[in-house]
Amino acid sequence: MAGIGRLSTKGAVLLLCDMQEKFRPNIFQFTNIVSNAARLLQAARVLGIPPIVTEQYPKGLGSTVPELGAGDLTAHAKTKFTMMIEPVEKELKALGDPKIAILCGIETQACIACTTFDLLEKGMEVHIVADAVSSRSQTDRLFALSRLRQSGAFLTTTEAVLLQLVQDAKHPNFREIQKLLVQPSPDTALLAFFSSL
C-alpha cells in the first residue's frame, strides 16, 4: 500500500552511501552505523534486495570500509552530494525502477539528504534507517532527520526494517534474518531526537 511506508522486498533497493575509511575518526557513532548497515546488507542478500554502493571522492576519502561487507560490490565514485549520479540511475533502470529505497550511510545532512530529496522527487518511497545514518555532529544528524521526515521520508531502524521485510515467522528466510537479530542493534544516541518530537 503506497503512502503509509509499508516495506516490501518487491521493488526495493538498498542504498549504501559513502561509508569510507577517512570518515571513520570523524563521524559520530561510525562503528555502530556501519555495523547496522552491514546487517542490512546481509539481510538484503538473503531476501534478494539489490544493493547499490557509492563512495564520495574515493581518491581523497578512501574506499568503503571492509566491515560493511560490500567488497564484492562495485562502488560508484562520485563528487556530488547525492547518490543519484548517472551510473546509479542506470543501475536503478536496469533493476526495473524500484519504488522503495532503504537508505543508510553518511553524512545525514549532506549526501543522505540530497539523495533523499532526489528520490522523493522521482516518486520513490524513501526509508531512512536512522540508526544506520550519521554525521560529524549529532546536531547535524538530528536536524537532518527531522527535516527529511518533514519532506516525506520515513524514519525507521535496522531491526524494524529486517522484521518488516519478512513480516511473518513463517517466511522462508525468517530463520536467517532472525540470526541477524540475536544481538540488539547498538545504541546510536537517537533518544535525543525522539524526546524533541
190 pLDDT band (50/70/90 cuts)?
confident
Q: What is the pLDDT of residues 105-147, one digit of tens each?
A: 999 999 999 999 999 999 999 999 999 999 999 999 999 999 9
The catalytic position among 17, 104, 111, 118 is 111
1 pLDDT band (50/70/90 cuts)?
very low
Decide if 18 is catalytic: yes
Amino acid 196: pLDDT: 60
Decide if 170 is catalytic: no
- Domain extents in the chain: 12-180
Amino acid 57: pLDDT: 97
| 8 Å CB contact between 83 and 3 | no
Amino acid 193: pLDDT: 65
Q: What is the pLDDT of residues 161-178, one digit of tens each?
A: 999 999 999 999 999 999
Q: What's domain 12-180's architecture? A: 3-Layer(aba) Sandwich (3.40)
Decide if 93 is catalytic: no
pLDDT at residue 197 greater than cutoff 70: no
Phi-psi map region of 105: left, alpha, beta (phi>0 left; psi -120 to 50 alpha): left
Average pLDDT over residues 14-29: 97
Q: What is the pLDDT of residues 53-65, one digit of tens each?
A: 999 999 999 999 9
C-alpha pair distances (Å), 153 with each of 14, 24, 116, 146, 156: 15, 26, 7, 10, 10
pLDDT at residue 10 greater than cutoff 70: yes
| 8 Å CB contact between 128 and 157 | no
DSSP secondary structure code for residue 20 in this structure:
B
Amino acid 62: pLDDT: 96
Amino acid 184: pLDDT: 87
pLDDT at residue 186 greater than cutoff 80: yes
The catalytic position among 17, 78, 104, 118 is 78
The catalytic position among 17, 18, 104, 131 is 18
